[in-house]
Amino acid sequence: MEMINVIIDGHSYSVKKGATILEACKSVGIEIPTLCYLKEINEIGACRLCVVEVKGARSLVAACVYPIDREGTEILTHSPAVQASRKATLELLLSQHDKKCLSCVKSGDCEFQKLCRDYGVEDEHKYDGETPVYDIDTSMPHLIRDNNKCVLCRRCVAACDKNQEVAVIGANERGFKTHIGQAFELNLNNVACIGCGQCITVCPTGALMERDDTEKVWAALADPTKHVVVHAAPSIRVTLGECFDMPIGSVVTGKMVAALRRLGFAKVFDTNFTADLTIMEEAHELIERVKNGGKLPMITSCSPGWVKFCEHYFPDMIDNMSSCKSPQQMMGAVIKTYYAEKMGLDPKDIFVVSVMPCTAKKFEIGRDDQAAAGVPDTDVAITTRELARMIKRAGINFTALPDEEFDSPMGLGSGAGTIFGATGGVMEAALRTAVYWLTGSNPEKVEFEEVRGTAGIKEATYNVAGVEVKVAVCSGTANAKKLLNMVRSGEKDYTFIEIMGCPGGCVNGGGQPTQPASVRNFVDLKALRAAALYEDDKNLPVRLSHENEDIKTIYKEYFGEPGSHKAHEYLHTSYVARPKVQY
C-alpha cells in the first residue's frame, strides 16, 4: 500500500495514496458529514454536504469522490467557507422539507435532522417560496413513501439498482420538480417491487419507512378475547440491542424474551424452533428430489423477498423452489393447529405476531396458501425497529432486564436454527441434517465453513455417502440474478441453492435497525451481526435440527414424519408467476 503525506487542518498525516478525502480523513479520526454517499453504490457527490477546501482547487470539492494523489495536498475540513457552504445547503434542503419532526418515526435517528442540528440550521423561512407537495404512497403492505420528506440523496435508488438489480425506482422529472418515483408515475404496487426494504435501511430521513403495524398489536394485546402469542426470528437476538445503544453484534436473547413478556404476550416462542422444522422438511424434500429425479437444483424458499423476485423475474424457475413455508409461516401454522389443539383454543381466537428482520414478511403473511387452520397463519409481522418502538413506548428499561427463557413447547431451537439469520446459514443447517439422514450418523464437524462469510456468491461440493452434492449460496437479488442466469445457461450445475433476498442475509434485512452512513460506510454490519449468530450457535447445547427434542415431539405427536401428508398440508405452500408491471 503506497502512502502519501498530506496536511489536514494544519496537521501532517500519512494516508493511503488514491484514497478519497473522505476515506483519508476517516482514517485519521476526522468525520466529514455526508448525506448522499454510500460506499461502492452511490459515490455521486451530489448533496454537497461533504465539501472541503483543497489548496489550489478553484472551488470547494466533494470529499467523497475527490482522490488524494498528490504529495503535500493541503485540506481544510471545517473552515468558515466550508461551514457556510454546508449550512446553506442544509437550509435550501430544509426549505422544501416536511418539517413535522415531532410526529416523524425517524426523529432522533434522522441523519438530516442531526446535520441541521450540528450546523445550527433552524426553520426560519430563510428561503420561503413554492414547496412541492406529493401524495404519500401507501400502496404496498410493507412500506410508506413520503416524498415530502425526501432530500433526493438517491441512496434508495442505488440500493434498489446496484444491490438488488430490481431498479423499480428512480428520479422522475428534472430541476425543481425532481422526485423519486416509478416509471409512468405508477404506484409501487403496480411494479415489481419485491418488498425487501433495502431502500428503507439507507434512507437518511423519514421519506421511506416500514408500514407501522404496532397499533394492531397493541389492540390485540388489549382484547380479552384474544390469545396473543409472539415469536422472534433468529437474527433479532443479535440486532435488537442496537436500538438501545448496545454494541453491534450484542446477543440479547434473554432480554428480548423478558421485554416481550412484559409487553403482555401470553406466550413468547422462538422462531428457531420452526427454522429447525423447516430444515426437517427441506432436507427431506431435497433428498426425495435427488433420489427420485425431482426438479434440481432445489432452491430455498424462506426469504419472501427472494420468492417474490423469482415470481417476477424468474417464473420459469418457480418449480425449483422448495415448497416449504418460511419459518415465520410454519410457526403460525403450528400455533394455530398443533398448539391450538393442545391448549384447547379456537384458531380464530389466537393472534400470532412475528418479529422479523424483513419488511417482505409483511407481504408474505397475506400470500395465498398461507392458512393451515383456515385463518391466516400469521396475523401481524413487525420489524426489529417496530418492536424497539413498542418497548420504548411501554417504558421498559431494556438494558436493565434480566435474561428469561422462551416458553414451551416451541421455545427450543438448535444452533442450526440460529444461523438461519446469516447468509449460508440455511444451507449449513440443511447440510448438517442431510448428512445424518444419508449416512446414519452426525457429521464429525458440524461447521460447513465453505458456505460461511459475506461474499455475494459462494460455492462448495460435498461427497456425502457416495453422493456428490454441489451447492451454492448467494445473498442480495443482484447476485441471485447473476447466479440463476448461469444456471439457466448451463454454465453452472448445482444440487441445492440457498438464496436470501438481502445482502448478507437476514442480519442485514430491510427491517433491521438503521445505522447512519458514518457507520454503514466504514463498518461491516452484516459480518459483525453474523459473527454473533455463529458464536451463539457454538455455545448452544443442541446444534442439529434433528436433535431438537421439541421437534422430535411434534413429529411423534402430530406430523408423523417429515414429508407426511399432514406436514405437506400445513407446512408447505405454492407460488405464482407475477407480471413485472401491472397497469
CATH number, domain of 206, equals: 3.30.70.20
Q: Which three cell numbers stand for residue 101?
A: 419532526
Please check whether residues 555 and 429 belong to one and the same domain. yes
Q: What's the CATH number where 49 sits?
A: 3.10.20.740
Say if 583 falls within a structural domain: no
pLDDT tens, residue by residue, 204-252: 999 999 999 999 999 999 999 999 999 999 999 999 999 999 999 999 9
Say if 578 falls within a structural domain: no
**List of residues 6+ apart from 307 with CB closer than 8 A:** 301, 321, 364, 575
Q: What's the CATH number where 527 sits?
A: 3.40.50.1780
Q: What is the rounded average pLDDT of the residues 253-257?
A: 98
Say if 576 falls within a structural domain: no
Q: Is pLDDT of 466 > 90?
A: no
Please check whether residues 452 and 469 belong to one and the same domain. yes
Please check whether residues 179 and 33 belong to one and the same domain. no
Q: Is pLDDT of 122 > 90?
A: no
Q: Is pLDDT of 289 > 80?
A: yes
Say if 215 falls within a structural domain: no
Domain boundary among 76, 92, 108: 92
Domain boundary among 178, 210, 242: 210
Residue type, 140: M
Say if 387 falls within a structural domain: yes
Expressed as residue numbers, the domain containing 131 is 97-210
Q: Is pLDDT of 14 > 90?
A: yes
Distance (Å, whole) CA 362 – CA 213:
9
pLDDT band, residue 367 (cuts 50/70/90)? very high
pLDDT tens, residue by residue, 389-448: 999 999 999 999 999 999 999 999 999 999 999 999 999 999 999 999 989 999 999 999
Please check whether residues 191 and 252 belong to one and the same domain. no
Domain boundary among 210, 233, 255: 210
Distance (Å, whole) CA 3 – CA 69:
10
Please check whether residues 295 and 336 belong to one and the same domain. yes
Please check whether residues 419 and 527 belong to one and the same domain. yes
Other Cβ atoms closer than 10 A to 521? 19
Q: Is pLDDT of 78 > 90?
A: yes
Q: Is pLDDT of 130 > 90?
A: no
Residue 298 pLDDT: 97
Other Cβ atoms closer than 10 A to 124? 9
pLDDT tens, residue by residue, 17-51: 999 999 999 999 999 999 999 999 999 999 999 99
Say if 349 falls within a structural domain: yes
Please check whether residues 317 and 275 belong to one and the same domain. yes
Number of structural domains (the chain) is 3
Please check whether residues 534 and 434 belong to one and the same domain. yes
Instruction: Identify the helix (H) or strand (E) that includes residue 299.
Output: strand 298-299
Q: Which three cell numbers stand for residue 82?
A: 466550508
Q: What is the rounded average pLDDT of the residues 49-66?
A: 96
Please check whether residues 491 and 451 belong to one and the same domain. yes
Distance (Å, whole) CA 237 – CA 254:
8
Q: Is pLDDT of 490 > 90?
A: yes
Average pLDDT value over all residues in the chain = 96
Whether the Cβ atoms of residue 358 and residue 555 lie closer than 8 Å to each other? no
Please check whether residues 204 and 228 belong to one and the same domain. no
Whether the Cβ atoms of residue 192 and residue 165 lie closer than 8 Å to each other? no
Say if 579 falls within a structural domain: no
Distance (Å, whole) CA 92 – CA 155:
19
**List of residues 6+ apart from 518 with CB closer than 8 A:** 31, 34
Q: Is pLDDT of 583 > 70?
A: no
Q: What is the rounded average pLDDT of the residues 553-557?
A: 97
Distance (Å, whole) CA 96 – CA 246:
35
Say if 580 falls within a structural domain: no
Q: Which three cell numbers stand for residue 28?
A: 485519521
- Reduce the DSSP state of residue 5 to 3 states and report it: strand
Please check whether residues 257 and 353 belong to one and the same domain. yes
Please check whether residues 15 and 129 belong to one and the same domain. no
Distance (Å, whole) CA 473 – CA 460:
9
pLDDT band, residue 76 (cuts 50/70/90)? very high
Residue 128 pLDDT: 80
Q: What is the pTM of this model?
A: 0.96
